[in-house]
A and B are shown apart, each in its own frame.
Chain A
Amino acid sequence: MTEHPFAITLDVGSSLANRTGAWRTERPVYVNRMPPCNDACPAGENVQAWLYEAEDGGYERAWRQLVRDNPFPAIMGRVCYHPCQDACNRGQLDEAVGINAVERFVGDEAIRRGWRFDPPPAPTGKRVLVVGAGPCGLSAAYHLAVRGHAVTVRDAGEAAGGMMRYGIPAYRLPRDVLDAEIGRIVDLGVTVEQNRRVDDPVAALAEFDAVFLAVGAQLSKRAYVPAGESARILDALGVLHDVAEGERPLLGRRVVVYGGGNTALDVARSAKRLGATEPLVVYRRTRAQMPAHPEETDEAIEEGVRMRWLSTIAYAGSGRVVVERMRLDDNGFPQPTGEFEELPADAVVLALGQEVDRSIVDSAPDIEVDHGTVRVDAHLMTGRPGVFAGGDMVPSRRTVTDAVGHGKRAAREIDAWLGGGTPTPAARPPLATFERLNTWYYSDAPATLRPRLDLARRASTFDEVVRGLDESTALFEARRCLSCGNCFGCDNCFGVCPDNAVRKLDEGHRAGSYAIDLDYCKGCGICVAECPAGAIEMVPEEES
């Protein structure tokens, strides 16, 4: 008391003594929400996470993050129908992030620079046979190998790749890219044996601890098309296979393709490249009902492929076909109208879908085939314990990406089964919806870059003559990512707190390096409202 001036009773103090956190009824909490791209990816890629690494030019980090889920980024960047971009929140702001184009860039960088997978862990001593070296089988082999299992892949074909080699034309997927990404899996220690058809998977259980069937759906569905003796009728897979082998199947100038899936369009587009002047796709329903990806339909039409919707082939003769016009009934099914038209046709290619070749499971009565696909349980296991199946063999959307996702899932299931358990799937966080973003903060793309990007994006899925993104555009494209539901290190929370109650944990400015000082946070929620990515939420304080 004596030290204080007259009428002063207290020492000078700082407001730090005033713990304003006691005022709070709600607290901000940093969260990670599920970005819509990740949510939509059939291969379960953490798209937001690898874009985050690519944003500062860390392409190798991006690639390593990406291949945790999918060993084929360069292939994906060419053949994936990128449902991630359809789901991208940026599409509601200006235009979806060109994820597929960046993926291709990262994948190509990996090939160019010779990046290799991390060496697998110590062997588990378990041996797994994978039947089929298509996207599903190779994906499973990769994911099993990185878990330390010894994997042998047996494939009936001349070279590994399955439909990626024999079904997808080279103008969509150059073979050197395919070879490079398969070679990296072989380098991991996976044994791949070609020309080794497996007829009895159950017998293989004597040699292996588990068997994964991924031979795909190889048998072209046949439809009865009344045909004259000299009609030239081919099946789509055979045509694509021949093209892949470097042969030039005799299709003639006027090619009619029957079917409405991606395979039909691949055949029509290949025919165009083989010299057909006017390939025609005949499909019995409407464009809206076509199973083919809209992008592929657009590209086919751009290339000069003609479409004839609501039509069936009633008769195929020498140099001509007769098509019947259809109409949709009230249930949306096509019904004949009795109106016929004759069209010139040098060849008719049937692309009516594929079925599983059931001969592979003929020797195993407990493995059931139902409606053209193998029956599996929730863990992708067939009726025979230890024998799993996935990809096009089981009910699926039948894209390369779905097959890769199946392979990853199968590897997880087989790994768990080998260890005597079932896998515990990671909890899926709530979706990072557009409404949760504060889009004010995102910059608009400068006009100068837009045309270049548009060009590159259009080109990236089409023709190898046109390059993908170069480094600067790939970097720009990656930085268009809104990082939905996940911190990306913008410092906004640190800046907008009226109480300085947000701490910055490091100088490196990595995402997520902030913490709330609950001694002083009053719970106003400005950090939540002003987080661009919606990566903070308010939660009620518990009553004490």
Chain B
Amino acid sequence: MPVNRVKFYQTGSYAVGNRLLDPRSRAVQSDPARTNAITTGHRACQGCGEALGARYVLDAAMRATGGKLVTVNATGCLEVFSTPFPESSWRVAWLHSLFGNAPAVATGVAAALRAQGREDIRVIGQGGDGGTVDIGFGCLSGMFERDDDVLFVCYDNQAYMNTGVQRSGATPPAARTATTDAVGPAPGNAFGQGKDAPRIAMAHGIPYVATATVADPRDLEYKVERAMSFRGARYLHVLVPCPLGWGSAARDTVRLARLATQCGLFPVYEAERGDVVAATPIRAAVPVTEYLRPQRRFAHLFRPELRTDVIGRIQAIADANIARYGLLEAGHD
């Protein structure tokens, strides 16, 4: 486990903080003086995982950089719900250009800062899975290939939620979206090879690639801090459940992110220069059904009949992840 786990103290490092812990051992999110990069009053839905994830990432980045940070945002939910004119929820330097060019704009910001001799100011590019793995992918790959000094963060909620839940390159197999209605006997996204953005990023050989979820803020914060210790192109892929698009209860956002990791469908790991260096072991293994069942986008796998054939294929994906990243091999604290 790369993030330094705290022993004892009832909740160890699983909860955000603990009154018994030294403040330095608590999460950034435990600090009443945290930046609150995306502040109260934003118009995200109840229980929005993306709003939560963005705050976790940017608050940690603000601490890691001493507040010297510029954020470039792609179009998407995160941009729309945070900045309905003339309001803004951002308490960091923030700019938005287009859907597909956030990595390129971030590259430009980094270049401008370098030209001014202000390389102490760091740059984060961020977007949803649509802006990252589909529309902005060419710009992103170029940013990686040039090793520009940008951390790009993808908040992956697995579809185009802002425009009405259309399928994206990150939509998982069998998930129902507005554009994967039944053409044959059953709805749901086709089984394909998918677009595994973190592994594509790793294939560029960039200094640092990591995955994380909103279910483990300490791990997420560690990875942001770690990413900020590198220069060059870095990529962070954060799973952020979406109650609207996933058809889940607002209160279940963190729980679903946790189940995604514990069933193996979303492996949490980090890689340096193209090689995986650490993976977070599964602590309370569950079958994929535990994760799928609370989501209405997978309801057709359970009603009117239990689709053991489809569930079996999804379980096989989880099992392949568990084998690839050794998620059941190491013990936990």
Contacts and interface: CB of A to CB of B under 8 A. Distances in A.
Interface of A: 10-20, 23, 55-56, 440-444, 446, 476, 479-483, 488-492, 494-501, 504, 507-511, 517, 520, 522-526, 528-530, 532, 538
Given A440-B258, A443-B9, A479-B20, A13 B15 contact: no
Given A491-B29, A496-B16, A522-B46, A14 B7 contact: no
**Considering the complex of A and B, which 4 residue pairs feature the smallest CB-CB distances, nearest first?**
A495-B16, A491-B17, A525-B251, A489-B19
A466 to B, nearest CB: 24
Q: Is the interface of B mostly helix, strand, loop or mixed?
A: loop
Contact of A480 (B10, B48, B52): B10
A14 B243 CA distance: 25
Interface in B1-47: 7-12, 14-20, 26-27, 29-30, 32, 36, 39-44, 46-47
B121 to A, nearest CB: 22
A432 to B, nearest CB: 15
Contacts of B332: 444
B188 interface: no
Given A490-B10, A529-B255, A509 B48 contact: no
B10 A498 contact: no
A499 B8 contact: no
28 contacts: A11-B86, A14-B88, A15-B43, A16-B39, A17-B87, A23-B46, A56-B19, A441-B14, A443-B11, A444-B333, A479-B20, A481-B10, A489-B20, A490-B15, A491-B15, A491-B17, A491-B27, A492-B15, A492-B17, A494-B17, A497-B52, A498-B44, A504-B32, A508-B19, A520-B40, A523-B46, A524-B47, A524-B251
Contacts of A17: 41, 87
Contacts of A529: 251-252, 254-255
B284 A12 contact: no
Contacts of A495: 15-17, 27, 29-30, 217
A507 B88 contact: no
Given A440-B284, A509-B19, A524-B253, A501 B14 contact: no
A509 B31 CA distance: 11
B41 A479 contact: no
A17 B284 CA distance: 42
A18 B87 CA distance: 9
Contact of A18 (B17, B43, B251, B258): B43
A487 to B, nearest CB: 10
Given A479-B10, A499-B51, A520 B41 contact: yes
Nearest to B89: A15
Given A15-B40, A56-B20, A509-B19, 6 more contacts: A14-B88, A15-B41, A15-B42, A495-B27, A498-B253, A499-B40
B281 interface: no
Contact of B86 (A13, A507, A510): A13
Interface residues of B, number: 51
A15 B333 contact: no
B187 interface: no
B55 interface: yes
Q: Which of B17, B19, B51 lies at the interface centre, i.e. has the most chain A CB atoms within 10 A of its CB?
A: B19
Q: Which of B41, B44, B243, B333 lies at the interface centre, i.e. has the most chain A CB atoms within 10 A of its CB?
A: B41
A526 B253 contact: yes
A499 B42 contact: yes
B8 A443 contact: yes
B49 interface: yes
A258 to B, nearest CB: 48
B41 A18 contact: yes
Nearest to A523: B46
A538 B7 CA distance: 31
Interface in B188-242: 217
Interface string B310-325: 0000000000000000
B82 interface: yes
Contacts of B46: 23, 522-524
A500 B39 CA distance: 7
A442 B10 contact: yes
A479 B8 CA distance: 7
Contacts of A526: 47, 52, 250-251, 253-254
Contacts of B249: 525
Contacts of B43: 15, 18, 20
Q: Which of B18, B26, B82, B284 lies at the interface centre, i.e. has the most chain A CB atoms within 10 A of its CB?
A: B18
B20 A501 contact: no
B268 to A, nearest CB: 15
A503 to B, nearest CB: 8
B47 A12 contact: no
Given A16-B40, A495-B27, A500-B36, A476 B255 contact: no
Contacts of A444: 332-333
B11 A441 contact: yes
B283 to A, nearest CB: 8
A12 B49 contact: no
Q: Which of B20, B36, B85, B243 lies at the interface centre, i.e. has the most chain A CB atoms within 10 A of its CB?
A: B20
Contacts of A504: 32
Nearest to B47: A524
Contact of A10 (B10, B29, B52, B85): B85
Contacts of B88: 12-15
A306 B47 CA distance: 62
Nearest to A490: B15
A17 B44 CA distance: 15
Contacts of A440: 14, 258, 284
Contacts of A507: 32
B40 A528 contact: no
A4 B146 CA distance: 40
A528 B40 CA distance: 19
Interface string B75-115: 00000001001111100000000000000000000000000
A19 B41 contact: yes
Given A15-B89, A20-B43, A492 B8 contact: no
Nearest to A10: B86
